[in-house]
Amino acid sequence: MTLSSPTTLLQTGETGIAASSFTTSAFTPANNSVAVAVVNFTAAGANTPASWTASGGGLSWTNVLAGGGGGTVYSYVAVFVAQVTTGASTQLTVNGLTIAGGNNYYNADVYYLTGHNTAGPTGATAIGTNTSAGAVSVTLSGAPSASSVIMAGLNLAPVGSGGTTTAGASWTALYNNVGAATVLDCQQQYITGTTSATVPWQAQIVGDTPVTAVQWAVEIVAGNAGDAAGSATGAGDASGGGDATKYTVASLAGTSDAAAVGETSKAESIGASGMVALDFGPAPGTNIASALVTGQTGILSTSPAEAWIQGTDYTSDHNAYEHYMMPQSVAVSVTAVSSGVGFTVTGVTQLRLTGQVVCRWAWN
């Protein structure tokens, strides 16, 4: 599924505040979208943006990225995301700001994207506090997928009231009030089709100097074809299909029962079911990979067990279409069943595969 570029819903501009919370004017995100709210705050005292909370529109807003700092002046940012099934008029309320003395200002900007991964809309993140007036950059916590959208921005308090900001090369500007505001200057930008973890600005500010500054970035992850159906219809469970689900070795490690991965058994007679990741490793790869499933206290050495690759699953290495096609060339089987312990899931192919492949399993 193609992830859309960010669409602007709200930009408040520099707004003075004397309370620990604020509420924006109304905006309406699209159906089946992910809303991204960027809250910039410049204050006379220290804050803890990770403890800020957001609400509004009956949505579940998650604080996915927060940071900043300063000295005589402090600059902070927090990024909230919320998945939207049915778009409706929404006002964002942010709580938890710390007000100290004068010169406390916020700037809230809200965007939406469609085509996101409903199982987890955000990926890698970055935060920094470089106060250079020239070129600056931050580094994402991991390399993004080329199908993702990277949203980024900066919040700075300048010495004066002038200056301009230059976005990173190949990046598209979303918002820029640097030089137009007297205390809180901020900028936002995005890029698509990159796998680089470096998030650059050609110049943080030109014609002025930042007293304090914070830079941030967050990866919005694209979904697969099943995501749209799951979001629109509420499908996506084991009995009906719907949301494609992304898994990694880390997320599956030690998950050997149905509850741990949110999966239900295919029939009441099944003793347990779950998922495991086969890791064929980095290039040049291999043609065989195995993974242990443990914690099966009720299994017997004679218990029937099976494993298979399902076309609605995907990993960062292989998408859902590849998982759909793999049963044609990858044989998956269960071996070495041990009473009260578990078994081994093995994938064998005449091809040379790399990376992680999700397998589902069940026994009775």
Q: What is the pLDDT of residue 249?
A: 42
* Predicted confidence band of residue 207 (pLDDT cuts 50, 70, 90): confident
The Cα diameter of the chain in Å comes to 77
Among the candidates 188, 205, 220, a domain finishes at 220
- Specify whether 66 is located in the same domain as 141: yes
pLDDT at residue 251 is higher than 90: no
* Predicted confidence band of residue 270 (pLDDT cuts 50, 70, 90): low
- Specify whether 298 is located in the same domain as 194: no
Least confident range from 199-208, 265-274, 343-352: namely 265-274
- Specify whether 120 is located in the same domain as 179: yes
CA separation (Å) from 146 to 130, 170, 219, 249, 351?
A: 27, 14, 10, 20, 25
- Specify whether 57 is located in the same domain as 18: yes
* Predicted confidence band of residue 231 (pLDDT cuts 50, 70, 90): very low
* Predicted confidence band of residue 111 (pLDDT cuts 50, 70, 90): very high
In the predicted model, what is the mean pLDDT of residues 154-170?
Answer: 85
> What is the domain range of residue 165?
7-220
- Specify whether 42 is located in the same domain as 139: yes
In the predicted model, what is the mean pLDDT of residues 50-69?
Answer: 94
- Specify whether 35 is located in the same domain as 173: yes
Structural domain total, the chain: 2
- Specify whether 47 is located in the same domain as 183: yes
- Specify whether 253 is located in the same domain as 346: yes
* Predicted confidence band of residue 225 (pLDDT cuts 50, 70, 90): low
Among the candidates 158, 185, 220, a domain finishes at 220
- Specify whether 14 is located in the same domain as 75: yes
- Specify whether 97 is located in the same domain as 178: yes
Indicate the pairing of strand 313-314 with strand 245-246.
parallel
- Specify whether 175 is located in the same domain as 122: yes
* Predicted confidence band of residue 180 (pLDDT cuts 50, 70, 90): confident
Q: What rounded mean pLDDT belongs to the chain?
A: 85
